[in-house]
Chains A and B, each alone.
Chain A
């Protein structure tokens, strides 16, 4: 065994440890009901929930009361619905999102989101505005 080999073995060991601890520390994509179960089992880590904003229920953001408090309802892919609280301002295009990824934990009767990733697939792929408002097209056409 040369020092080189010893060093390489140590580094390889550290590499394995890094990957193992990475996988040990990662969290999962879950549904709201799984998130609730996990929190009841005192699962301490955050989870990710892929869901959709329920646009029929009100989005509650009143900056004059608390600029860091947003509440809304979201439905996951299995149809479970949950109230979501996010202690930050309202993401700028929340109403337009088609899919949101919440990172956080279930608490009490709501999901406490620490991060919201909104996905608007149509964001850069809009049909022309004129398609939606044909009446705006000048008559001369």
Chain B
């Protein structure tokens, strides 16, 4: 491989490649470097301004940041141009797009590749930075210094430099012939010349069909905006630690963290909705490590936002507020590391490519944790000593790795790994100790009847739930570090434990808001809790007449979800004088309750309508006592075979596979299957699940769902007869017959009768078509074998016809006109027939009914409204305070 690389790089030096738009890539690359350098400059200038207070520095910093933001947009535009003009000399365009890709999906190419998604993140950070520059007032310098530092780190991911064999970033403007030098060796290039390689690589690999979906256009930007927003509370926390004991950071940090929770939550649910609409697993959440990686920052940011609220309102729990805000951002970095380093490999269904940047990603995490730890020292001297030790150790380790003899290298690496792990945890512990010393608040007189007590408890229960998900999701990391062989838990395991973990949180959400800060009259509180509790019990009972949920743990969950929803919406009564905007928390909590009711009912009560007990019976297993394991025999039979036009009963529905259509133009690889549903209540609808036989990506299938208010009927094709290898026809036999004269196929199973001959015109001559009746037992059909007569050459061409369903083939080889008048029936036809076992068109279909799944989406939308109210309200309040 190495010699190959050398050989091709020599070729690249000599050969003058044709038709490459190298200038476009160079332009993009130049903007990447400007982005990186301007972020660096902004960081330095902001830091200088914070230290010296010299206005000139702030001016320089702002200018640098504007240049930065501008060049980020420029990179975006150049990359879009690369994709839009199909410049396949650039690896990114070749890999993620194709000529036939519609313009509205070109934007999705940005998030199929890692470089593009980093770019998206950088873009959001740039926007956030500009907003902060305008509105953060006295916090601008330290906060923007941290944001700029984040941008330095992120934009270094795009640099695409290679120093001493160490890769720094991966550029979206890398050339195809550099990224895949092997492509220059394909044999055909020998004949047309290597310099003309672009005439062969004139179409790209294409965008994954599953990403070609409306939701995939808006889900990743939303999710990444959520990720990007997490840096702001983190920056405020660091800024406040740096400035020591300034508590005015809490209000802006709270606003930004609420924005993060709202946007990230929306992004996560959008991803779930996309999965439900276009993936095959039949659901919106699978506890896949990649999904979890986005859930972890959301959970901790939710917890942090509540802590910030407590701290802002009471001045207490400053330590926890800082800690959780810091952890939120660390977890965002950790999630990025998990999903982009390729470490999840065997644990996730998502496909990852390791760009070889895991080291760099890990380094970010370490650098940011180091930064936090450094700033957490109160005394400047200690901070300096810490910085020197850390950078000394780091430089020492890097230097050692260059001078160490080769045969010691592996033991050196092992040593370094363990040293690294222990240093990593020591730094975190050090940070926590420092933070606790400097930020602990007096909690001695905190009352059991205070809101802050219960809210704090709620936040801790969220962390508890997070710990379980974090540990489970990190199993591949622990395996790698410690050489374990543990497998990642399946969705069932998560559900079983998270069901219980959610309950205390739900309970606190249901009753917590009836506490006041500092102190509450227990009597009033009890009254409120009792009234809402009783109403909720009644509502739960009523609802369950419809839901029919069984199992005490599920019923308890339902009751708590209902209480959570009602407790919050009834609380609005107490806030009615304050106006709609003050209802933010209540509305979003109500939405969350609705969402949880939807999650419970749609998952516990989902019905596989296509489930069946039919099929090959496996040998029953016996244990030592000779008991037969019945459970093992009735296992997961969730698909039915549906023959064309042969309806079967599924649930209350009659289901019929009606016909299929091949897609046209851009969809020409798609097959659309029309499946009719009807039942006795007159409910009739047609669903069109589809499959796609994609030569590059294999078979893809897309479900089709009928939405009702109270339920969804989800269908998904898992197999269809077109995927079978077709048996060829055999038993060819030639007969010479006149119209009306019947004959049979070779085995005599099918009777064929030529009924009449029809004349028509083809594009360059005459077309004759024979109407041939085919009869079998209980079956008949008509075949139309044709002959085309080319008027110029006089050649005859036969076009055969066949019926797979009856297993008959017929071709009109020639005809013999004894009398030109067809009505005298003196024509004889030479017909070749063949037969095979009849093939019936079928689909293998899974049909699932999801009751009340709309509550999940409705709850989400209500939640978003709540967040908008809450954020607007807090911004207005802050304005009032400032003016």
Contact = CB atoms under 8 A, between A and B. Distances in A.
A25 B353 CA distance: 30
Contact of A26 (B188, B346, B489): B489
B161 interface: no
A127 B188 CA distance: 14
Contacts of B188: 130-131, 134, 137, 141
Interface string A47-59: 1101000000000
B719 A63 contact: yes
A21 B494 CA distance: 12
B464 A4 contact: no
A26 B623 CA distance: 24
A83 interface: no
A78 interface: no
B444 A2 contact: yes
B456 A92 contact: no
Contacts of A26: 472, 475, 486-489, 493
Interface residues of B, number: 75
11 contacts: A25-B489, A26-B475, A28-B485, A29-B346, A89-B639, A93-B697, A93-B698, A119-B351, A120-B698, A128-B201, A141-B192
Given A11-B464, A26-B487, A108 B203 contact: no
A129 B489 contact: no
Contact of A103 (B95, B183, B490, B612): B490
Contact of A69 (B200, B448, B615, B621): B615
A68 interface: yes
Nearest to A135: B188
A19 B471 contact: yes
Given A29-B485, A101-B346, A141-B199, A21 B497 contact: yes
Given A18-B497, A107-B618, 17 more contacts: A15-B467, A18-B501, A21-B497, A22-B472, A23-B486, A27-B486, A63-B842, A87-B636, A89-B639, A114-B635, A120-B351, A120-B698, A124-B205, A124-B353, A126-B205, A131-B186, A134-B187
Contacts of A141: 188, 192, 196, 199-200
B727 to A, nearest CB: 13
A101 B344 CA distance: 13
Contacts of A89: 639, 718-719, 844
A8 B460 contact: yes
B468 interface: yes
B616 to A, nearest CB: 5
B446 A2 contact: yes
Contacts of B349: 117
A134 B490 CA distance: 44
Nearest to A132: B186
A8 B639 CA distance: 48
A89 B701 CA distance: 13
B464 A107 contact: no
A92 B699 contact: yes
A127 B183 contact: yes
Interface in A58-104: 61, 63-69, 85, 87-90, 92-93, 96, 99, 101, 103
B461 interface: yes
B868 interface: no
Contacts of B840: 64
A127 B176 CA distance: 11
A107 B453 contact: no
Contacts of A114: 635-636
B490 A87 contact: no
Interface of B: 95, 112, 180, 182-183, 186-188, 192, 196, 199-201, 203, 205, 208, 345-346, 349, 351, 353, 443-444, 446, 448, 453, 456-457, 460-461, 463-464, 467-468, 471-472, 475, 485-490, 493, 497, 501, 612, 614-616, 618-619, 621, 623-624, 632, 635-641, 695-701, 718-719, 840, 842, 844
Contact of B468 (A4, A18, A27, A63): A18
B628 to A, nearest CB: 13
A42 B349 CA distance: 30
Which of A64, A89, A93, A124 has the most chain B CB atoms closer than 10 A to its own CB?
A: A124
A3 to B, nearest CB: 6
Interface of A: 2-4, 7-8, 11, 14-15, 18-19, 21-23, 25-30, 42, 47-48, 50, 61, 63-69, 85, 87-90, 92-93, 96, 99, 101, 103, 107-108, 112, 114-115, 117, 119-121, 123-131, 134, 137, 141
A101 B487 CA distance: 11
Contacts of A8: 460
A125 B345 CA distance: 16
Nearest to A88: B636
A141 B636 CA distance: 54
A11 B346 contact: no
B453 A3 contact: yes
Contact of B637 (A15, A42, A87, A103): A87
B636 A128 contact: no
B641 A67 contact: yes
A134 B186 contact: yes
Contacts of A125: 95, 205, 353
A77 B616 CA distance: 30
A107 B632 contact: yes
Nearest to B191: A141
A85 B633 CA distance: 12
A59 to B, nearest CB: 11
A14 B466 CA distance: 12
Contact of A66 (B203, B488, B616, B635): B616
Contacts of A88: 636, 638-639, 718
A63 B489 contact: no
Q: Which 4 A-B pairs have the closest CB atoms?
A: A93-B698, A89-B718, A92-B699, A66-B615
